[in-house]
Each structure stands twice: as structure tokens, then as C-alpha cells.
Amino acid sequence: MTQENATTPVLPPPVLARGPIGWARANLFNGWFNTALTLFVLWILVRTVPGLFDWAVGSAVWSGDAAICRAEGAGACWSFVAEKWRFILFGTYPADQHWRPVAAMAAILATLLASADRRMWGRPLAVIWPVGLGLAALLMFGGVLGLDFVPTTLWGGLPLTLALSVVGLVFAFPLGVLLALGRTGDLPVVKALSVVYIEVIRGVPLISVLFMASVMFPLFLPQGATIDKLLRAQLGFILFAAAYLAEVVRGGLQAIPKGQYEAADALGLSYWQKTRLIVLPQALSLVIPPLVNTFIGFFKDTSLVIIIGLFDLLSTAKAALTDPAWRGFYKEAYLFVGLIYFAFCYAMSRYSQFLERDLSKGRRR
């Protein structure tokens, strides 16, 4: 039926039911409880936001020395960050060489960005990762091509945090997948070993694993030989993260129906073909949210390496505060590194949401 023939006129909805007013009525002021809640939240915002804005922007000190910041009525002391950002970001890495950690981080970020593209998954990644990480290591260590050698004892700040977390998770993830496969598989010895490993590691705090890695690895080495402290922390971190990732992956493996295994078997696929082509793609895409949750958690847990004397991003910020001239600007220091952590974690979170949507396209079950 066309509109001309309609007997009842076609009218727009009443003005109070559409647009921003309609939305507010439907969502903010529907019922006395929601109305009260809305007003309460508004009151809190009115009480806090102007003060916060004034501190962070209005009365903030953007340059100059600490004395200006300590003046009556001064807000956030961003000049502290302006003064210390290089130390916070790069730790004790030689100041004239700071372009190297910057370039190394760019290499790592480029590697991550390239891996984010699903068209790269498969063989390209096997090239991208060794090249990207190799380049980053080359830049950080130096010692060749006219670059001065910089030992890991001088590394710190964001490059250290990135190295620990990216390298850690890249090695921990395949190890975790293998442990999960071992635990859910049919081989009794492999299964028992996987269970024992996972349960022991999960039953111990990360700090003690890092301590053990720091103190115990050297005991297994011949007299006089040493392993780098960073490498020890890295190993401890990988071993620890693998146990957690294994349990996340196991959750995905258990959600794959038996029929998928049977269909793959009936077609004559080998165990590894079945695992790689049928089981893991489905299992991993099911556990993207808890997987990324674990990644984010471990990214931040790298800050625990301070207990064995490595200066990650959080530790360099703390160290910056020990400068007698700039003592006491905790809020600024922690906000600054907090924002950096947040940027990375939020990026991971957004990417995981994109990936989940992308992978579920056309794949209703």
C-alpha cells in the first residue's frame, strides 16, 4: 500500500521521543532510580572535573625548575616530565645513543603492526619476526657496524619493558600451546609432565620464579660461566607466562567438538596437520579475549623485574624521583608512565576486538 492511499496520516514521532532529548529520557531519566543515579553522577563530575582540569592544565607548570613547581597554587609539574622523560624512557642507556632504542622500538612496533595483518599470517611471519627482533637486538647491543657496544646492564625503561614482554610472549605462546596440547593429548607421560609443569609454575608467584631464574640458573652452569641477568629474567618470564597461556589455550581446545577431530581423522590428516589446520585455528579464535587478557597482564607484570635489579619503565620513573632536585613529583611520574602502559594495553584490547569480529565473519556455528 502506498502512502497516498493510507487512511491514517504518517506522522513523525513526538518531539520528546526522538533526538538527544528522547535518548536522555529513555536512558538517563527512565524511572526515579535512574534519575537519582544520573544526578548523583553529574554531581560527582561537577565536583571533580574542574579541579582536576585546573591541576592538570590550568595551573600546570610546563617548564622551568622544581622551585616554580613548589610555588603556592602551582598545579601539575609537567616540567618534571620535560626534564626526566629521556631517563624514564631509556634508563641508563648512553644519552648520546638514544636514537638506537628509539629505532629498536620502531622495529619491534613495525613487526607487531605487520603481524596484526591477517594476510601476513603463515610464512611471512617466520621472516618478519627474526628480522624485526634481530634488527632491534642489533640496534640495542651494537658492537658492530661502528655502533658502540652497550651491555644489557645499561638498558632500561620502555625498550626493556617492550623487549621483556614482546620476546617473552612470543616464546611463551608456542610453549603454552605445546603444553596445552600435551595436557589434553593421549600420551600419558607427556600429559603428566605438562600437568606437573603447569601446576608447579602456576602455584608459585612470578617474583619467586624471577628470583629462582636469577639465582638458580647460574648454579647449573660451569664455574666461571655467567648468563646475562636480562636473559635470566627473560627465561623466567617465558617459563612463567607459558604455564598461564597453556591453561587459556586448553580452554579453547576443550571447546572443539569431537566431530572436528573425527572428520580430520577420517580424511587422513596427520596429528600435526589436524592440530595446525583444524583444531588450533578454531580453539585460538575462541579464546582471544582471555588470551589478550593474559597478554595485557604480563605486559604490566614485566615491572616486577625490578626485584632482580632490572630497570623497566616503572622502575626508571621511580628512579627519576630519587633525584634530590625533583623529589616528590609522584603524581606526574606515575601518570606519565601510566599513560604509556595504557596506550599499549588499550591498543592490544582494541586489536583483539577487531580480530574477534574479523574472525567470526560468516562463521556462525
Partner 1 sequence: MEESIIQLRGVNKWYGEFHVLRGIDLDVAKGERIVICGPSGSGKSTLIRCINRLEEHQAGTIRVHGVELDNDLKHIDAVRRDVGMVFQQFNLFPHLTVLENCTLAPMWVKKVPKAEAERQALKYLERVRIPEQANKYPGQLSGGQQQRVAIARSLCMNPSIMLFDEPTSALDPEMVKEVLDVMVDLAQGGMTMLVVTHEMGFAKSVADRVIFMDRGEIVEQAPPEEFFGNPKSERTRTFLGQVLNH
Task: Give residues in contact with partner 1 (CB under 8 A).
Answer: 257, 259-260, 262-270, 273, 277-278, 281-282, 285, 359, 362-365
In the complex with partner 1, the residue whose CB is nearer, 1 or 266, is 266
Cβ neighbours of 156 (radius 10 Å): 24
In the complex with partner 1, the residue whose CB is nearer, 119 or 364, is 364
Q: How far is the CB of 266 from partner 1 (least distance, A)?
A: 4
Q: How far is the CB of 302 from partner 1 (least distance, A)?
A: 33
C-alpha cell at 130: 627474526
In the complex with partner 1, the residue whose CB is nearer, 261 or 351, is 261
In the complex with partner 1, the residue whose CB is nearer, 65 or 356, is 356
In the complex with partner 1, the residue whose CB is nearer, 47 or 361, is 361
In the complex with partner 1, the residue whose CB is nearer, 47 or 363, is 363
Q: How far is the CB of 257 from partner 1 (least distance, A)?
A: 8
Cβ neighbours of 12 (radius 10 Å): 7
The distance in angstroms from the start CA to the end CA of the chain is 38
CB 277 within 8 A of CB 261: no
Task: State how far the alpha carbon of 153 is from the alpha carbons of 92, 112, 144, 191, 229, in Å.
Answer: 9, 26, 18, 39, 8
**Alpha helical stretches, state H, 54-156:** 66-70, 78-90, 99-116, 123-141
In the complex with partner 1, the residue whose CB is nearer, 205 or 281, is 281
Q: How far is the CB of 256 from partner 1 (least distance, A)?
A: 10
CB-facing half-sphere around the CA of 159: CA atoms within 13 A:
28
In the complex with partner 1, the residue whose CB is nearer, 110 or 269, is 269
Q: How far is the CB of 184 from partner 1 (least distance, A)?
A: 18
Q: How far is the CB of 115 from partner 1 (least distance, A)?
A: 19
Q: How far is the CB of 365 from partner 1 (least distance, A)?
A: 6
**Alpha helical stretches, state H, the chain:** 19-27, 32-53, 66-70, 78-90, 99-116, 123-141, 158-162, 168-184, 188-202, 206-216, 229-254, 258-266, 271-273, 280-286, 288-301, 313-320, 330-359
Q: How far is the CB of 61 from partner 1 (least distance, A)?
A: 55
* Burial zone of 187 (CB within 10 Å; 0-12 exposed, 13-18 middle, 19+ buried): exposed
CB 58 within 8 A of CB 75: yes
Cβ neighbours of 176 (radius 10 Å): 25
C-alpha cell at 330: 609522584
